[in-house]
Chain A
Amino acid sequence: MPTMPRSPQQSLLWRSALAWTVWLGVTVSVKAARPVAEEPVSFRRDVMAVLAKAGCASGPCHGNRNGKGGFKLSLRGEDPATDYATLINGLAGRRLDFTAPADSLLLLKPTTDVAHEGGARLKKGSREYEILRRWIAARSPDDASAPKLTRLEVTPRDDYYYAPRTNAQITATAVFADGLRRDVTTLAVYEVSNVAVAEVAPDGRVMRKSDGETTVLVRYLDQQAPVRLAFVPRHPEFAARKFPQPANAVDEQVYAKLKQLRLNPAGPCTDEVFLRRAYLDLLGILPTADDARAFVADTAKDKRAKLVDTLLERPEFAESWAMKWADLLRLDERTLDRKGARLFYDWLRTSIASHEPIDQFARKLVSARGSTYANPAANYYRNLRTPVERAEAAAQVWLGTRLQCAQCHNHPYERWTQDNYHDWTALFERVDFQVLENRRQDENDSHEFKGEQVVFVKNSGEHQNPRTKKTSVPRFLGVPTPVGEWAKQNAALVSTAATPSPLNGERGAIASGRASSPSPHPTLSAPSGSGEGKASAVPAISGIAWPTNAITGPTDLDALAAWLTSTNNPLFARSQANRIWFHLMGRGLVDPIDDFRSTNPASHPALLDVLTAELAKSGYDLRHVIRLVMSSRTYQASSEPTKGSEDDMVNYSHNIVRRLTAEQLLDAQSEAAGVPLEFAGFPDGTRAGQMPLLKTGARRKSSPLDQFLVAFGKPPRQTPSECERSSEPTMTQAFALISGPTVQDFIGEKDNRLAPLLASGKPAGELVNELFWNVLTRAPSQPESEKLVALLDTAPNKRAALEDILWGLLNAKEFVLRK
Chain B
Amino acid sequence: MNSFACPGFHSAEKFSRRTLLKVGGLGMLGLTLPKLLAAESLAPGSAVSMPKAKAKSVIFLYQFGGPSQIDMFDMKPDASDKYRSPHKPISSSADGIQVSERLPDVAKVMDKVTLIRSMTHKMLNHNSASYYALTGHAPPVDDIRLRDTLDLAPAYGSVVDALAPISGELPTFVAYPHVCRDGAITPGQHASFLGKQHDPLLVLRDPNAADFSLPELSLPNGVSFERLTARRELQKMIDGQSRLLDYASAARGMDAYYEKALTMLHSDKLRSAFDLSKEPEKLRDRYGRTTYGQGLVLARRLVEAGVKFVTVYFSDNIGGQSTDSGGWDTHGFNNTHMYPIVEKYHLPITNQTLPVFLNDLDERGLLDTTLVVWMGEFGRTPELNKQTSRDHWPHCYTTLLAGGGAKRGFVYGASDKQGMYPADKPVRPDDLAATVFHLLGIDPRTEVMNHQQRPLPIAEGEVVSGVIA
Residues of A within 8 A of B (CB): 55, 58-61, 64-66, 68, 117-119, 191-197, 210-217, 226, 230, 385-386, 388-389, 392, 402, 404-405, 407-409, 413, 442, 444-447, 591, 595, 599-601, 639-641, 646-651, 657-659, 698, 711, 713, 716, 718-719, 721, 723-724, 726, 728-735, 737-739, 744, 748, 776, 781, 783-784, 787-788, 800, 804-805, 807-809, 811-814, 816-817, 819
- By a CB distance below 8 angstroms, the chain B residues around A781 are 241
Write out the residue numbers on chain B whose beta carbons fall within 8 Å of the beta carbon of A647. 28-30
The 8 Å CB contact of A192, one of B23, B183, B201, B261, is B23
Whether A787 pairs with B216 at a CB distance below 8 angstroms is no
Q: Which residue of B lies closest to A744 (CB)?
A: B220
Q: Are A388's CB and B196's CB within 8 A? A: no
- Tell me, yes or no, whether B258 is within 8 Å of chain A by CB: yes
Of all chain B residues, the one with the shortest Cβ separation from A194 is B27
Q: Is the CB of B149 within 8 A of A719?
A: yes
Taken together as a complex, chains A and B put the C-alpha atoms of A726 and B30 apart, in Å, by: 17
Show 16 A/B contacts (Cβ-Cβ < 8 Å), sorted by A: A60-B11, A60-B14, A191-B23, A195-B40, A392-B3, A404-B452, A648-B28, A651-B28, A718-B147, A729-B250, A731-B260, A739-B265, A800-B227, A804-B227, A811-B258, A812-B242
Beyond A647-B28, A698-B183, is A814–B242 a contact (Cβ under 8 Å)?
Answer: yes
- List B contacts of A809 (CB < 8 A): 238
What's the minimum C-beta distance from A446 to chain B, rounded to whole angstroms? 5
Known: A194-B27, A731-B197, A735-B261. A698 touches B181 (CB 8 A): yes
A730-B196, A731-B171, A813-B248 are known; give 10 further A-B pairs, CB within 8 A.
Answer: A64-B11, A197-B27, A197-B28, A215-B24, A445-B183, A640-B247, A647-B29, A658-B250, A731-B264, A813-B239
Once the chains bind, are A813 and B245 in contact (CB under 8 Å)?
yes
* A819 interface neighbour in B216, B231, B244, B245, Cβ under 8 Å: B244
Contact with A601, one of B1, B14, B24, B28 (Cβ below 8 angstroms) = B24
With the chains together, A798 CA to B100 CA distance in Å?
Answer: 68
Once bound together, how far apart are the Cα atoms of A784 and B239, in whole Å? 10
A681-B35 Cα distance, complex, nearest whole Å = 44
Residue from the list B9, B18, B183, B196 in contact with A713, Cβ < 8 A: B196
* Bound Cα distance A649, B248 (Å): 11
B130, chain A: closest CB distance, angstroms: 14
- Report the interface size class on chain B: 35 or more
Which chain A residue has the least Cβ–Cβ distance from B181? A698
Q: Separation in Å of the B186 CB from the closest CB of chain A?
A: 10
Residue pair A808, B234 in contact (C-beta under 8 Å)? yes
Q: A59-B11, A60-B11, A60-B15 are in contact. Are A728 and B238 (CB under 8 A)?
A: no
B235 contacts across to A, CB distance below 8 A: 807-808, 811-812
Assess the B244–A814 pair: CB atoms within 8 A. yes
* B184 part of interface (Cβ distance < 8 Å): yes
B228 interfacial by beta-carbon distance below 8 Å: yes
Asked if B10 lies at the interface with its beta carbon under 8 angstroms from chain A, I say yes
- The CA of A724 and the CA of B451, in the complex, are separated in Å by 9
| Chain B hits for A119, CB < 8 A | 14
Query: Does B423 make an interface contact (CB < 8 A)?
Result: no
Q: Which A residues lie within 8 Å of B142 (CB)?
A: none
Q: Is the CB of A445 within 8 A of B23?
A: no
Residues of B within 8 A of A210 (CB): 29
Instruction: Please pick, from B4, B18, B181, B241, the residue contacting A783 in the complex, using a CB distance under 8 A.
Output: B241
In the bound complex, residues from chain B placing their C-beta under 8 Å from that of A651 are: 28
Is residue B22 contacting chain A, with contact meaning CB distance below 8 A?
yes
Residues of chain A with a CB closer than 8 A to B255's CB: 813
**Shortest Cβ gap from A423 to chain B (Å):** 18
Contact B196 A728 (CB under 8 A): yes
Contact of A194 among B26, B171, B249 (CB under 8 A): B26
Q: Is the CB of A196 within 8 A of B220?
A: no
**Closest 10 interchain pairs by CB?**
A808-B234, A194-B27, A193-B23, A734-B261, A404-B4, A657-B248, A212-B28, A649-B30, A444-B183, A193-B24
Contact, CB under 8 Å: B28 / A444: no
- Within the complex, the shortest CB–CB distance from B67 to chain A, in Å, comes to 21
CB-nearest residue of chain A relative to B447?
A: A60
Contact B27 A214 (CB under 8 A): yes
**Interface code B146-165, partner A: CB below 8 Å = 1, 0 otherwise?**
01111100000000000000
Minimum CB–CB distance from B38 to chain A (whole Å) comes to 12
Contact B24 A599 (CB under 8 A): yes
CB of B254 within 8 A of chain A? yes
- CB proximity to A under 8 Å, residues B347-383: none
- A734, B257: Cβ atoms under 8 Å? yes
Closest CB of chain B to A592's CB: distance in Å?
Answer: 8
Knowing A646-B247, A804-B231, A817-B248, say if A812 contacts B257 (CB, 8 Å).
Answer: no
Contact status A405-B1, CB under 8 Å: no
Q: What's the Cα separation between A197 and B24 when bound, in Å?
A: 13
Contact B3 A445 (CB under 8 A): no
Interface pair A413/B22, CB less than 8 Å apart: yes
Give, as a whole number of angstroms, the nearest-CB distance from A683 to chain B. 28
B283 on the A face (CB < 8 A): no
CB pair A386–B3 under 8 Å, yes or no, is yes
The interface bits of chain B over 223-236 (1 if a CB of A lies within 8 angstroms of the residue's CB, else 0) are 10001101100110
**Known contacts A804-B234, A808-B231, A392 near B4 by CB under 8 Å:** yes
Closest beta carbon of chain A to B278's beta carbon, Å = 23
Measured CB to CB, the closest approach of chain B to A687, in angstroms, equals: 23
Chain A residue contacts of B31, Cβ below 8 A: 194, 196
Q: Which residue of A lies closest to B25 (CB)?
A: A591
User: Which B residue's beta carbon lies closest to that of A656?
Assistant: B250
Say yes or no: A659 contacts B254, CB within 8 Å.
Answer: yes
Is B199's CB under 8 angstroms from A732's CB?
yes
State in angstroms the CA–CA spacing of A223 and B12 once bound together: 26
Which residue in chain A gives the minimum CB-CB distance to B13?
A60
**Known: A814-B242, A819-B242. Is A196-B36 also a contact (CB below 8 A)?**
yes
Residues in chain B near residue A788, CB distance under 8 A: 234
Interface flag for B6 (CB, 8 Å): yes
Tell me if A55 and B257 are in contact (CB < 8 A). Answer: no
List the B side residues contacting A194 at CB < 8 Å.
24-29, 31
| CB proximity of A809 to chain B, nearest CB, Å | 7
Which chain B residue shows the least CB distance to A712? B196
Known: A197-B29, A213-B28, A807-B231. A446 touches B145 (CB 8 A): yes
B90 beta carbon closer than 8 Å to chain A: no
Q: Which of A60, A230, A739 touches B220 (beta carbons < 8 Å)? A: A739
Contact with A along B416-460 (1 / 0, CB 8 A): 000000000000000000000000000000000001111100000
Select A444's contact among B144, B150, B218, B253, beta carbons within 8 Å: B144
* Chain A residues with CB under 8 A of B149: 716, 718-719
Asked whether any CB of chain A lies closer than 8 Å to the CB of B167, the reply is no
Given contacts A210-B29, A388-B1, A640-B243, contact A718 B261 (CB under 8 A): no
- B196's partner among A404, A726, A737 (CB-CB below 8 A) is A726
Instruction: Tell whether A386 pairs with B452 under 8 Å between CB atoms, given A212-B27, A659-B250.
Output: no
* A192 vs B29: C-alpha distance when bound (angstroms): 14
Select from chain B the residue with minimum beta-carbon distance to A657: B248
Across-interface contacts of B21 in A (CB, < 8 A): 195
CB within 8 Å for A732 and B27 given contacts A405-B452, A812-B235, A814-B242: no
Complex Cα distance, B22 from A599, in Å, reads 10
Interface residues of B in 247-291 (CB under 8 A from A): 247-251, 253-258, 260-262, 264-265
How far, in whole Å, are A115 and B149 apart by their CA atoms in the complex?
A: 41
- Smallest Cβ distance from B271 to chain A, in angstroms? 14
Query: What's the nearest-Cβ distance from chain A to residue B338, in Å?
Result: 20
Bound Cα distance from A594 to B382, whole angstroms: 49
A650 pairs with B28, CB closer than 8 A? yes
